[in-house]
Amino acid sequence: MAHDALKVAVLISGRGSNLQALLDACADPAYPARIVRVISNVAGAFGLERARAAGVETQVIRHKEYDSREAFDAALDQAIRASGADVVCLAGFMRLLTPGFTAAWQGRLVNIHPSLLPSFKGLHTHQRALEAGVKLHGCTVHLVTPDLDGGPILAQAAVPVLPGDDEDSLAARVLEQEHRLYPLALRLLAEGRVRVENGVARIAGLADSGVRLLNPGP
């Protein structure tokens, strides 16, 4: 593993499937980031077991033990800084972070959201996509700002919405792409290829592949 690899803390609340994708990527010595700590607000989160199996330090900070969001976020901030992390990745972390926390980690706080932002911010994205009749759905990795699901977009992956899809089948198709997209976006950040201008993330070194998506096809 590179000596100057980006140090990452990951926040989780549940099973940690996106965490596993990041752990798998970081297991490659050539990958430019490494996870130094996984923190959960839920003691029984299965993602903690994934982290321990990978030899990554874990920590539980229960939000219910704090009398305010600000106090909880202050404890999170202290733990992250103690880990030496340069960047924080949210991977199924089911807590709204305070503006103070997001400001403190501006440009270094990353989230993955199960829709093609700016469409379908918030919860129940797959059902809402089906109800809207969209033909393409997907996921987005973005930098976090105080605006809900509104930060600069780093990367997106699209999937077709197929005839007969229900919420579960569409969610599974999107999740498969989430596991590919999150490590890619973190790599771009770790390689210093991201520059934010006027709220838009510009990625250095990208070429137009000429690939276009059509659904339904001609």
> For 137-158, how does the pLDDT look when each residue is reduced to its tens digit (9 = 90+)?
999 999 999 999 999 999 999 9
113 tagged catalytic: yes
Out of 113, 126, 137, 179, which one is annotated catalytic? Answer: 113
pLDDT digits (tens, 9 = 90+) for 62-94: 999 999 999 999 999 999 999 999 999 999 999
Is residue 2 predicted with pLDDT exceeding 60?
no
DSSP string, 178-189: HHHHHHHHHHHH
pLDDT digits (tens, 9 = 90+) for 47-67: 999 999 999 999 999 999 999
Residue 34 pLDDT exceeds 50: yes
Residues 6 or more apart in contact with residue 186 via CB below 8 angstroms: 6, 8, 22, 25, 33, 87, 89, 110, 141
Cβ contacts of 93 within 8 Å, gap of 6 or more: 11, 12, 13, 41
Helices assigned H by DSSP within 27-68: 46-53
Q: What is the pTM of this model?
A: 0.95
Domains detected in the chain: 6-196 (3.40.50.170)
pLDDT value for 1: 44
Task: Round to whole Å and give the CA distance between 35 and 57.
Answer: 9
